[in-house]
Amino acid sequence: MLRGVLEWLDDRTGVVTGVRHFLDEDIPASSGWHQVFGSIAMFGFLVQAVTGILLALNYAPTAGEAYYSLKYIVMEVTGGRLIRQLHHWGASLMIVIVALHMIQVFIWGGYKKPREATWIVGVVLLLMTLGYGLTGYLLPWDNRAYWGTVVATQIAASAPGAGPYIARLMGVVDGAIGSVTFARFYAIHVLLLPPATMALMLLHVFLVRRHGVAPLPGDEVLPKKKFYPGQVFKDTLAIFVYFAILYTLAVVARVPLERMADPTDTSYIPRPDWYFLFLFQLLKLFPGSLEMIGSIVLPTLAIIALFAAPFIDRSKMVMVRQRGFAMGLVLLAAAAWGSLTYAAVAGTPKSAHSEYDATLVEPWQHLTPKELLKPDAQAPDFAKLAARTYAKSGCTVCHVANGEGGKMGPPLNGIMFRRDRAWLEAHFIEPQKMVPGSTMPPYKFAPPEMAAMLDWLLKLPPD
Amino acid sequence: MLQGPDRRNFLVLAIQGLGAVIAGALGLPALSYLFAPPKAKNDVAWIEVADLAKLPAGEPAEIIFSHKRVDGWKVVTEKTSAWVVKTGETEAFALAPACTHLGCAYHWKHDSKEFTCPCHASSFSIDGKVQAGPAPRPLDRYESRVVNGKVQVGRVVASDGAGAGGGKA
C-alpha cells in the first residue's frame, strides 16, 4: 500500500528519487564526526522556526502589549514556558553551533578553492544568525530588551557617515526607541530573515553538493563512502546530543521576564546577550574619541577578514596536523573572546533588576494591605504580620501599596529596584538621616515586625 | 561490531528511532500548547442586569450590560446582552443571545411569540426550546439568580450540559 503510494508520488513528482539521489551522495573516506556541525545548525534552525511559529500564535507584536502576551505564554499557556525557553536557549546554542561549524571548516581548510563561495554564503548565514539574536532580544519588551537595544542602536547610529541612516532605518528618533523600532525588529526577525535564511541555506547545501564534501589530501586514492546511512547516523546522533542539551537547558534553566520596559528607569544597567558581551567589553578598552575603533572599526575589519579568508589564504589543502597557523588563529580569537566575555560577566554587578522575574510573582504579592488583614487572606505569615504593622503605624496615610493609600510619600511598589534592605531598615529608624528634609516619622519596629516589613516591601511588584 | 546489511539496518533503525524521540519531545509540548486550555485567570462575578419588578410578564426583555471577559492576555470589559424572562415575582431566567445553530443573534417576534434567528430560520419558544429550523439544541442560558429583587447573571451554560457555549460572562 505505502509502496504503491510512494511509487505513484515518485512517478508524478520525482521526489522519492530526488531524496534517494541526495542521500546516495559520495563522500570522501575521511568524512566523519568532525563534519556533523552543519547538519546540527540546520536542525537548530528548524527548532527555532517551529518554536518561533508557536510563540507567534500567542504573541502580540506591538511594544507594550508584547510584554503582557509573553507573560501570558509563560504563566498561563500549557507548555508555554518550555516553548519560550526552547526558543531562547535554542538561539544561544545556534550561535555556538554556527561558530563551531565555522571553526571546523576553518581549521580543516574547507574554505579553500573551489569552495570560496560556500564559505562566503556561510559567513552571511553567521551574520544573519547574529541578526536574529539582535532583533529577537527586543521582542520580550522588558527592561533587559529595551535597554540592551537602546545601546545596540546607539552603537549603530555612531557609525561614521552611515550612522544617521541606519538609525532612521531602525526607527530610532532622537536616540529613543519605541513602537516603530519594535515593529521593524519584529518584521526583520519574522518576515525578512527566515526566508532569506532558508534561501541561503539551500544555496549553501547546493554548493556543498556541487563541490563535494571537502576531502583531505590523499583522499582521492581511497574509495568513496556513501552519505547514507553511515554519515547520516553520525549526524543524527550528534543532533540528538544537541537536542538533549537544548531540552535540558529549556527545562532546567529559567529565563526571566524582567519588569516591563521602562524608559524612565535610571537605575538599569543594560547588558547585551552573552555572545555580544565581548563587543560591549571591547568598547571599554577604547575610551573617548577612540571608541569608534572598538564599536565600528574592529568589528567591520573582523567581518571583512572572514569574507576574505579564502582569498588571503590561497595555499593548497594540507593535512589538519600541518595547519598550525590556522589553529593558532582560532585559539587566539577564542582566548580574546573568552577573556573579554569573562571580564564583562565579572564586571556586571548583581542587581534587583536582573534578579526579578515577573513570571514568578505570586497572587498574594498583589493584595492590598487591607486585603492582607482579612483572616482568610492567602498569603505567607510575614506578609500578614507586615500588614498588621503597616496598619498600626498608619503608613497607608502617606504611601500607596498595590493601589491603596495616600499620595504624600513615595509609592512603595517596585521599591526593590530603588532601595536595598539595609537602606530601608536604616530609613525606618532615622528617616531624616537617609533623606534629609523627609517628613516621615521614625519607626523603631521590634525585630520580627521589622523583618516582616522589609520582606514584604521588597516583594511589592512594580506596577 | 556489526557488518554489512546488519550494520546498515541498525544504522537506519537508529536514525529513525532518534528522529522519533526528537519529534515526540517537540511535538507533545506543541500539541498541549495548542490544544490544552490556558490556566483560568479569575472567577466569574455575578452581574446585576435588571430590576425584576420592572420586567414585563410573559415577554422576554433584551438587556444590554457590560461584563469582563478574559481575552488571552487581557481582561476586556465589553458589552453583551441577555434575553431575561420573568417567570414569577421572585424568579427569572436569562437566555444567552446566540443561536445554538451557528451563533447568529436571534430576536423576539411579538406577533408569533417566539425567538427567530435571521440566519437559517431557527425558531425557539420563550423558554428556549427549538420549534423549527436547524438549531441542534435549546438556547443556552446564563446562570442566574434573584437577589433583593434584582436579576443577576453569571456564566453561560450550554443547554446540552457540554460546557460553556458562548464564553464566560
3-class DSSP assignment, residue A42: helix
CB contact under 8 A, B34 and A57: yes
Q: Considering only CB atoms, which chain B residues are within 8 Å of A77?
A: 33, 38
User: C-alpha angle A187/A192/A194, rounded to 5°?
Assistant: 110
Reported as a single tens digit per residue, the pLDDT across B48-79 is 999 999 999 889 999 999 998 889 999 899 99
Q: Chains A and B: how many Cβ contacts under 8 Å?
A: 66
CB contact under 8 A, B36 and A78: yes
Are B87 and B19 members of one domain?
A: no
Q: Please tell me the predicted confidence (pLDDT) of residue B164.
A: 47
As a whole number of angstroms, the distance between CA B59 and CA B71 comes to 33
Q: Is the link from the previous residue into A160 a cis peptide, with omega within 30 of 0?
A: no
Which amino acid does the sequence have at A363? P
Strand-strand pairing, B107-109 and B47-51: unpaired
Chain A residues with CB inside 8 Å of B21's CB? 240
With cut-offs at 50, 70 and 90, classify the pLDDT of residue B40: confident
Distance, in angstroms, between B11 CA and closest chain A CA? Answer: 6
- Whether residue B107 sits in one domain with residue B25: no
Q: What is the DSSP letter of A96?
A: H
Q: What is the ipTM of this complex?
A: 0.87
Q: What number of CA atoms fall less than 13 Å from residue A258's CA on the CB side?
A: 25
Q: Work out the pLDDT band at B169, boundaries 50, 70, 90.
A: very low
CA distance A240 to A39: 11
What does the angle CA A310 – CA A311 – CA A314 come to, to the nearest 5 degrees?
80
B79 plus B138 within the same structural domain = yes
Contact residues on chain A for B14, CB-CB shorter than 8 A? 233, 236-237
Overall average pLDDT of the B18-33 stretch: 97
Query: In this structure, is residue B130 part of a structural domain?
Result: yes
Classify residue B10: in a domain, yes or no.
Answer: yes
The set of residues, in sequence order, having a beta carbon less than 8 Å from that of A243 and lying 6+ positions away, is A43, A47, B22, B25
Cα A339 vs. chain centroid, distance in angstroms?
20
Which of A72, A74, A234, A359 is the mutation pick for testing B, counting most B CBs within 10 A?
A72
Percent of chain A topping pLDDT 70: 100
Domain boundaries, chain A: 23-359, 361-457
Query: What domain range includes position B28?
Result: 1-36
Q: Is pLDDT of B45 > 60?
A: yes
B15/A232 Cβ within 8 A: yes
Residues B148 and B75 in one domain: yes
Enter the C-alpha cell of residue A335.
582566548
DSSP conformation letters of A289-347? GGHHIIIIIHHHHHHHHHHHHHHH--PPP--GGG-HHHHHHHHHHHHHHHHHHHHHHHT
Measured CA to CA, the distance from residue B16 to residue A456 in angstroms comes to: 54
Answer whether A340's CB lies under 8 Å from A276's CB: no
Chain A residue nearest residue B70, CA to CA: A72
> Could you tell me if residue B162 is inside a domain?
no
Contacts of A68 in chain B (CB under 8 A): 73-74
Positive/negative CA dihedral, A201, A205, A208, A211: negative
CB contact under 8 A, B30 and A83: yes
Query: Which fold is adopted by the domain A23-359?
Result: Cytochrome Bc1 Complex; Chain C (1.20.810)
Contact B11 A47 (CB under 8 A): no
CATH number at residue B70: 2.102.10.10
B71 and B32 together in one domain: no
Interface of B with A in 2-41 (CB under 8 A): 8, 11-12, 14-15, 18-19, 21-22, 25-26, 29-30, 32-34, 36-39, 41
Does A76 contact B38 at a Cβ distance shorter than 8 Å? yes
* Same-domain pairing of B23 and B53: no
- Characterize the bridge pairing of strands B130-132 and B141-147: unpaired
Q: What is the pLDDT of residues A248-295, one digit of tens each?
A: 999 999 999 999 998 888 888 888 899 999 988 998 899 888 888 888
Place B2 in a pLDDT band, splitting at 50, 70 and 90: confident
- Mark whether B77 and B105 lie in a shared domain: yes
Mean residue pLDDT across chain B: 90
Dihedral of the CA atoms A64, A65, A68, A72 (nearest 10)?
Answer: -160
* DSSP per position, A129-171: HHHHHHHHTTTT-BHHHHHHHHHHHHHHHTSTTTHHHHHHHTT
Q: What percent of chain B has pLDDT over 90?
A: 76
3-class DSSP state of B138: coil
How far, in Å, CA of B119 to CA of A313, rounded? 75
Predicted confidence at residue B1, as pLDDT, reads 66
Structural domain tally of chain B? 2
Architecture of domain A361-457: Orthogonal Bundle (1.10)
* Better pLDDT: B81 or A291: B81
Q: Which of A173, A175, A185 is nearest to A137 (CA)?
A: A185
The whole-model pTM stands at 0.90
Write out the three cell numbers for B25: 519531545
Both B10 and B76 in one domain: the answer is no
The verdict on B52 and B127 lying in the same domain is yes
Do B27 and B75 belong to one domain?
no
Spell out which chain A residues touch chain B, with contact meaning CB-CB distance below 8 angstroms.
47, 50, 54, 57-58, 60, 65, 68-69, 71-72, 75-80, 82-83, 86, 229-230, 232-233, 236-237, 239-240, 243, 247
| Partner-chain contact B14 A237, CB within 8 Å | yes
A150 CB neighbour count, 10 Å cutoff: 20
Cβ-nearest to B22 among A76, A233, A243: A243
Is residue B91 domain-resident?
yes
Residue A150 in grid coordinates: 537602546
pLDDT, residue B167, reads 40
Residue B58: predicted pLDDT: 83
Does residue B166 lie in a domain region?
Answer: no
Q: Give the mutation candidate from B10, B15, B41 for the A interface (greatest A CB count, under 10 A).
A: B15
The whole-number pLDDT of residue B165 equals: 41
Integer Cα distance of B59 and B61 in angstroms: 6
* pLDDT tens over chain A, length 463 residues: 899 999 999 999 999 999 999 999 889 988 899 999 999 999 999 999 999 999 999 999 999 899 999 999 999 999 999 999 999 999 999 999 999 999 999 999 999 999 999 999 999 999 999 999 999 999 999 999 999 999 899 988 888 889 999 999 999 988 889 999 999 999 999 999 999 999 999 999 999 999 988 888 888 788 888 899 999 999 999 999 999 999 999 999 999 999 999 888 888 888 889 999 998 899 889 988 888 888 889 999 999 999 999 999 888 877 888 888 889 999 999 999 999 999 999 988 888 887 889 998 998 999 999 999 999 999 999 999 999 999 999 999 999 999 999 999 999 998 988 889 999 999 999 999 999 989 999 999 999 999 999 999 999 998 7
Q: Which residues contact B57 (CB under 8 A, 6 or more apart)?
A: B86
Q: Do B30 and A58 touch (CB under 8 A)?
A: no
d(CA B154, CA B100): 19
Can you give the pLDDT at residue A30?
Answer: 87
Q: CA A382 to CA A282: how far, in whole Å?
A: 46
Taking contacts as CB-CB distances below 8 angstroms, the residues of chain B near A50 are: 26, 30
CA A290 – CA A153 distance, rounded (Å): 19
Cα-atom radius of gyration of chain A, to the nearest Å? Answer: 28
